[in-house]
Copies of this chain bind each other. A is one copy, B any other.
Amino acid sequence: MTETNCANKQMTLQEAIKKYVKDGCSLTFGGFIGRDCVAAVHEIIRQGIKDLTVIDDSKTDMMDLLVGAGAVNRWEGAYLGYGAIGLAPNIRRSVEKGIPRKIELEDWSNAGISMRFLAGSLNVPFMATRSMLGSDIMKYNRRIKLMNDPYEGEPIALVPAAHPDVAIIHVQRADAMGNAQVFGFTGNDENKARAARHTIITCEEIVPTEEIRHRGNLTLIPFYCVDAVVQVPFGCHPQSCYGYYAYDVLFCGDYHEAAKDRDKFLKWLDRYVLSARDHMDYCEKVGWERLHKLMGMERHFNRIPG
């Protein structure tokens, strides 16, 4: 929950991560393999934060990075792969071989974990769902409870509310108060921001509050759910950000190739994350020209209505 509302919650990414993300805390990230919080993940790795629990729906490269960097202790979620490209190399190395450390896994389905965030956002202890019944997800995950519903007597599964310590959500635009507007799909972001104890909004652009008021229907996360607002242009690269830039499939392919080998992965991590001072330095390394080509491609196909 937000301690105090005020006119200006803006800070740097370093400040926001340092203030809210602590060793051993639980995290969730906005986006859904697209509009991912890549810049925030880089900063978490740079600050050497450890023993994290990640509670999330489906993640690809950003979780592979976090796990490869040894920052994660536990995963509660539905999907850890690499989309159409393949399996996630660091996830496999961690789970199968304990390199660099073994992560605990608690499997859910996407609908099941979505209901955990919905319950968290509503501040109720549980939600009912018709997913996961009869499967081994329920067999191995004892927090999913089978019950007969007291109205009709049907079998139904209960899942407990999720309340991560911190939600980090990247959006297209926000004001300094923390009102966050999303264009395109919204994933579970509205619920993650509400379920978490603290919420950091990273955004492509900070806009005046007047601009927010002009399109109040697009405000997915109101100011009172938000603790920090950080402007991070290209903060999702190499993932896409609807209306801003397209998915960098070739960069991801190169990452995936490198990540298959632990040494090559560490070199990649050093080159793009550890040796980058900050997100602007990462953009410099990726190349501004490349980033703007991806923006040009995106805006060829869609532009957020003006």
Contacts and interface: CB of A to CB of B under 8 A. Distances in A.
A218 interface: yes
A129 interface: yes
Contacts of A132: none
Interface stretch (A29-37, A142-150, A228-236, A257-265): A142-150
Interface string A101-130: 000000000000000000100111111111
Given A145-B150, A150-B145, A156 B124 contact: yes
A150 B147 CA distance: 10
Interface of A: 119, 122-130, 145, 147, 149-152, 154, 156, 158, 160-161, 182-184, 186, 214-215, 217-218, 305
A305 B147 CA distance: 48
A125 B125 contact: no
9 contacts: A124-B127, A124-B156, A125-B128, A125-B152, A125-B154, A126-B128, A127-B128, A147-B150, A217-B217
A151 B129 contact: no
B151 A126 contact: yes
A130 B126 contact: no
Given A217-B218, A305-B215, A150 B126 contact: yes
A218 B183 CA distance: 10
Nearest to A128: B124
Contacts of A184: 217
Contacts of A158: 150
A210 to B, nearest CB: 13
Contacts of A217: 182-184, 186, 217-218
A123 B156 CA distance: 11
A126 B125 CA distance: 13
A139 to B, nearest CB: 18
A134 B150 CA distance: 20
A151 B125 contact: yes
Contacts of A126: 128, 149-151
Nearest to A129: B124
Contacts of A122: 128
Nearest to A150: B145
A128 B129 CA distance: 13
Given A123-B130, A305-B305, 7 more contacts: A122-B128, A124-B128, A125-B152, A150-B158, A151-B161, A214-B305, A217-B218
Nearest to A160: B151
A129 B145 CA distance: 19
Which one of A129, A217, A218 has the highest number of Cβ atoms from chain B below 10 Å of its Cβ?
A217
A152 B305 CA distance: 46
Contacts of A161: 151
A156 B128 CA distance: 14
